[in-house]
């Protein structure tokens, strides 16, 4: 790693980049402060501008990091603590695909991937990243090339083949952390199986990083990651207040750091700031939706390309999405993470991802959320791209109505591909859903 690369990285990403991003953040904060407050939604949290600054700086560093630090790509359910402790720069293709979707680039990139032979039936996150790679275009300027790719199939099987394909294209080694599917709580032999794989990952990552793993550093990163996830859980739980000071749409936007930068002190500082701002809203009686009539659960991934439109449409009917089980899945691992036993704790945490658990568990989880957040309904996003998350939704909706008297709406869409989304049809169904809730 030559001195010229390091100097360029420092000058561009830090010396010049930080002040530029800070200025952009302050401008965004002023725009939020000056926003028209007569609509159905309260203006966004100021923390949203801080998050944009935080993630933009991470992507800016990624443009120039090759030749300065080793780079690890990882799936959103992969054990990042080991990689962080070894000094890898982390890049999350899932997050990048979501950003492309929010920038309304997902459909175009998906079409490019399909023109290269990838089926429209596979995940639109995967098609988005493939299309971005083939087109050599990205909203973040430049994506760092990986020295190592770490993927866990605790989300789905598609993610494994997606990352293996990228490893082939980029000539990068791929390490799989295989997580047995849980029908109930993890058995000791399942925890031991994942723990053994994490221990196998360490020498592989050490060789590529060119350094030995410090157990003390791993404990520190795990402690930071647990604190970050605990803060995220506190933020989500604030939505139990009525009116809710934060919606699931806010959480979709704010979840980036807890997914990709969980062990970083900057993420802890950020979520502390978010929590303070939310508590100020609670103290002032400010609700995210001004005329909150109904509180609902959003099941499954967000519809990234229509996030703002969907938020405003629901708010116009007095519907507040108080919580999403998708955002909750990055809070849940905190209860399993253990700084004193970081490898075993990581094995437990990554086994218990919601997509690695049964539809029966998911139903029990939704029941608990309906009670905890005092919810009136459930919006089940039947995601064409995410079949594992959409599995069982019809039965789950029927069970919630029968057992708890809570109505549900099944909304058919795709999280990144806008070609099957019909605003007219969605509006009609949302109006019918509002009437069901009374």
CA distance 163 to 148: 11
pLDDT at 3: 76
pLDDT at 241: 97
- The average confidence (pLDDT) of the chain is 95
pLDDT per position as a tens digit, 242-270:
999 999 999 999 999 999 899 899 999 99
pLDDT per position as a tens digit, 109-160:
999 999 999 999 999 999 999 999 999 999 999 999 999 999 999 999 899 9
Buried b (16+ CB within 10 A) or exposed e, 43-67: bbbbbbbbbbbbbbbbbbbbbbbbb
The share of the chain scoring above pLDDT 90, in percent, equals 90
pLDDT at 36: 81
416 in Cβ contact with 383 (< 8 Å):
no
Give, in order, the Cα–Cα distances in Å from 78 to each of 55, 88, 120, 137: 19, 14, 25, 26
pLDDT at 1: 57
- More confident call, 8 vs 98: 98
Q: For the whole model, what pTM was predicted?
A: 0.95
pLDDT per position as a tens digit, 390-433:
999 999 999 999 999 999 999 999 999 999 999 999 999 999 99
pLDDT per position as a tens digit, 161-197:
999 999 999 999 999 999 999 998 899 999 999 999 9
The share of the chain scoring above pLDDT 70, in percent, equals 100
- Whether residue 222 has pLDDT greater than 70: yes
> Residue 120: what are its φ and ψ, rounded to 5°?
-70, -15
> Residue 72: what are its φ and ψ, rounded to 5°?
-120, 125
pLDDT per position as a tens digit, 299-328:
999 999 999 999 999 999 999 999 999 999
pLDDT per position as a tens digit, 322-367:
999 999 988 877 789 999 999 999 999 999 999 999 999 999 999 9
- C-alpha angle 206/204/7, rounded to 5°? 45
Confidence tier at 12 by pLDDT (50, 70, 90): confident
Residue closest to 43 by CA, chosen among 267, 312, 296, 272: 312
**164 membership: H or E segment, kind and range:** helix 158-170
- Whether residue 21 has pLDDT greater than 90: yes
CA distance 89 to 93: 13
177 in Cβ contact with 351 (< 8 Å):
no
> What are the strands, taking DSSP E only, across 386-435?
408-413
CA distance 377 to 298: 9
- More confident call, 388 vs 202: 202
The predicted model gives 213-240 an average pLDDT of 97
pLDDT at 331: 87
pLDDT per position as a tens digit, 54-75:
999 999 999 999 999 999 999 9
DSSP string over 186-243: PPHHHHHHHHHHHHHHHHHHHHHHTSPPPHHHHHHHHHHHHHHHHHHHHHHHGGGSSS
């Amino acid at each position: 790693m030559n001195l010229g690369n390091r100097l360029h990285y420092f000058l561009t990403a830090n010396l010049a980049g930080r002040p530029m991003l800070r200025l952009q953040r302050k401008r965004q904060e002023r725009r939020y402060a000056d926003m028209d407050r007569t609509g159905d939604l309260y203006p966004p949290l100021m923390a949203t501008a801080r998050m944009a600054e935080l993630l933009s700086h991470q992507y800016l560093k990624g443009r120039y990091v090759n030749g300065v630090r080793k780079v690890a790509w990882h799936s959103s359910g992969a054990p990042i603590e080991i990689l962080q402790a070894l000094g890898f720069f982390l890049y999350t293709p899932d997050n990048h695909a979501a950003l492309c979707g929010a920038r309304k680039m997902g459909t175009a990139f998906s079409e490019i991937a399909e023109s290269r032979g990838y089926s429209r039936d596979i995940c639109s996150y995967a098609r988005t990243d493939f299309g971005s790679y083939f087109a050599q275009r990205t909203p973040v300027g430049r994506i760092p090339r990986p020295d190592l790719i770490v993927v866990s199939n605790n989300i789905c099987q598609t993610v494994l083949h997606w990352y293996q394909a990228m490893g082939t294209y980029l000539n990068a080694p791929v390490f799989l952390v295989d997580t047995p599917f849980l029908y109930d709580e993890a058995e000791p032999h399942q925890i031991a199986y994942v723990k053994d794989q994490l221990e196998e990952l360490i020498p592989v990552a050490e060789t590529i990083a060119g350094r030995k793993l410090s157990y003390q550093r791993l404990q520190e990163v795990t402690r930071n990651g647990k604190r970050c996830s605990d803060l995220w859980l506190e933020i989500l739980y604030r939505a139990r207040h009525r009116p809710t000071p934060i919606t699931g749409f806010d959480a979709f936007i704010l979840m980036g750091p807890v997914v990709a930068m969980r062990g970083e002190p900057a993420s802890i500082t950020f979520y502390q700031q978010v929590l303070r701002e939310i508590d100020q809203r609670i103290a002032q009686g400010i609700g995210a939706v001004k005329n909150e009539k109904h509180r609902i659960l959003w099941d499954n991934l967000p519809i990234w390309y229509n996030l703002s439109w969907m938020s405003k449409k629901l708010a116009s009917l007095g519907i507040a999405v108080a919580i999403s089980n998708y955002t909750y899945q990055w809070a849940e691992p905190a209860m399993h993470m253990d700084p004193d036993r970081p490898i075993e704790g990581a094995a437990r945490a990554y086994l218990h991802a919601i997509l690695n658990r049964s539809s029966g568990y998911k139903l029990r989880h939704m029941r608990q959320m309906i009670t905890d957040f005092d919810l009136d309904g459930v919006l089940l996003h039947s995601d064409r791209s995410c079949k594992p998350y959409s599995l069982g939704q019809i039965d789950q909706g029927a069970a919630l109505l029968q057992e708890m008297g809570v109505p549900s709406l099944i909304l058919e869409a795709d999280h990144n591909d806008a070609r099957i989304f019909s605003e007219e049809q969605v509006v009609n169904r949302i109006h019918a859903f509002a009437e069901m809730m009374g």
